[in-house]
Amino acid sequence: MSAAHILVVDDEPDIRDLVKEILEDEGYEVSTAENGATAREARRARRPDLVLLDIWMPDIDGISLLKEWAEGDGLPCPVIMMSGHGTVETAVEATRLGAYDFIEKPLSMAKLLLTVERALEADKLRRENIGLRRQARPVAEPVGRSDTVQKLKAQAQRIALHEAPVLITGEPGTGKEIYARFIHASSPRKAGPFIDVGVGSIARENSALELFGSEAGDKVHYGRLEQASGGTLFLDELADMAPETQAKLAGALENGSFLRIGGKEPVQVNVRVIAASHRDLETEVHAGRLREDLYYHLNVLPMRLPPLREHCEDVPELLTYYVNFFVDQEGLPYRNFTMAARNRLRNYGWPGNIRELKNLVQRLLILGGEEEITLEEVEAAISHVQPNRARDIGHIPLDLPLREAREQFERNYLLQQFKECDGNVARLAEKVGMERTNLYRKLRALGIDPKRAPEDE
């Protein structure tokens, strides 16, 4: 993984050179700027991980520059202000605008290094907390002791040592993001960010903006590709990406650089890309829905995740893991599966794989009363799931073109989930993992009125 990139902005050459030399000795990568104009250009050329910003400069003061950067998307990284003539009011204003800290000149290099280290660590924790709130499965590593899981973990650890792109495939709910995070955590890039992009949850017309960012004048919006700099970019459901964005991503992987929307100068790529899909991507390529060059760029290190029914011996351990998770993380009452209930679930087909198991555990903990989860309770829970699934899938004629069949499935799926959420769009968005604006757009595209009760459809 590359070292943290620090931008030092100061109009005094001696201070710039000294700070640059000391930071580089500590293993950081450092760029410098002597005034506001060159600082803007340096920030446009490459997203910094931290900025050391002097207050008094000839063309613009640091507070005004900080305010300019804080507008719109907010500060892209921690900013530490430096000044030899600072006041309490100046420090308060800098903090209000989002600066991490304020240090006085003459600089104490020991204090500077400690502040830099703490600022980078605080930013890393902030990003990790956002990621944990967003992801539904905060699993440190894949759960299971079967030969299947042990071989997959060993494969993931071998893959982690290399920089080449990874393509993870498997049925929905098999844990593709879990393995992507495990690869990242086992790699030399583990100290860098892990940025996950649910391609299907981004409106197709906004996908290039979200991924590559934009610039207009001095205003720069960093896309997910730059946010993942030095770390890993995880693209979930690759086949849902808009064709124009596919072309731009293929070009970025080929050339090692890309243009932001509205940009004129190339930005270097420094990420490890892991993509995932539950679809047969070769079929998507042959059907013209996925670019062949993008597929081959990403399919360097393929990894297939088997469905849970192929390693059902891991079900008891998964049940125990998710019971403990919901008790510890969500404060749900502890309940224990009886041996008969465990054995029934071990022999259940799990069409929804690990995601279905997790949701089943959560439902049983919430709705049950006794400490033990009985066989009868489990039978009732899985019999409630199976008829709905069979009914919804059975409504789709198998002679339809794939795109039409997928649209019918999406409509049936969202209608069923909408019913289970009692017509509450906010709960539906959380349940299906989509941003609410994109969900409204998807519902309307499928002819579902978000304002009408789902039973009326």
Answer whether residue 415 shows pLDDT above 80.
Answer: yes
Query: Which run of H or E residues covers position 50?
Result: strand 50-54
CA–CA separation, 65 and 187 (whole Å): 36
pLDDT value at residue 387: 42
Of the given ranges (152-156, 216-220, 346-350, 421-425), which has the lowest mean pLDDT?
Answer: 421-425
Q: Specify whether domain 5-133 bears CATH 3.50.50.60.
A: no
Mean pLDDT on 448-455: 63
Answer whether residue 122 shows pLDDT above 90.
Answer: no
- Rg over alpha carbons for the chain, rounded to the nearest Å, is 25
Are the CB atoms for 238 and 298 separated by under 8 Å?
Answer: yes
Sign of CA dihedral 324, 325, 326, 332: positive
Strand partners, 292: none
Of the given ranges (127-131, 239-243, 332-336, 414-418), which has the lowest mean pLDDT?
Answer: 127-131
209-257 pLDDT, tens digit each: 999 999 887 788 889 999 998 999 999 999 889 899 999 999 999 999 9
145-203 pLDDT, tens digit each: 999 999 999 999 999 999 999 999 999 999 999 999 999 999 999 888 899 998 877 77
Mean pLDDT on 99-113: 90
* pLDDT > 70 fraction of the chain, expressed in percent and rounded: 90
- Position 5: which residue type? H
Q: Which fold has domain 308-394?
A: Helicase, Ruva Protein; domain 3 (1.10.8)
5-48 pLDDT, tens digit each: 999 999 999 999 999 999 999 999 999 999 999 999 898 888 89
76-92 pLDDT, tens digit each: 889 999 987 766 788 88
pTM: 0.70
Residue 398 DSSP one-character state? T
Are the CB atoms for 173 and 352 separated by under 8 Å?
Answer: yes
Instruction: Count CB-CB contacts under 10 A for residue 395.
Output: 11
Residues 6+ apart with CB under 8 A from 93: 63
Instruction: Count CB-CB contacts under 10 A for residue 217.
Output: 8
Are the CB atoms for 176 and 353 separated by under 8 Å?
Answer: no
The torsion region of residue 237 among left (phi > 0), alpha (psi -120 to 50) and beta comes to left
Q: Which fold has domain 146-304?
A: Rossmann fold (3.40.50)
pLDDT value at residue 363: 92
CA angle 10, 15, 21 (to 5 degrees): 110
| φ, ψ for residue 314, nearest 5 deg | -85, -5
Mean pLDDT on 374-385: 85
Per-domain boundaries in the chain: 5-133, 146-304, 308-394, 402-456
Judge if 146-304 and 402-456 fold alike in CATH terms: no
Exposed / middle / buried, residue 330 (Cβ in 10 Å: 0-12, 13-18, 19+): exposed
pLDDT value at residue 128: 65
Can you list the pairs that 415-420 forms with residues at least 24 positions away whose Cβ atoms lie under 8 Å? 415/448, 415/454, 415/457, 416/388, 416/392, 418/448, 418/454, 419/454, 419/455
Exposure letters 416-436 (e unless 16+ CB within 10 A, then b):
eebeebebeeeebbeebebee
Q: Which fold has domain 402-456?
A: Arc Repressor Mutant, subunit A (1.10.10)
CA–CA separation, 455 and 407 (whole Å): 19
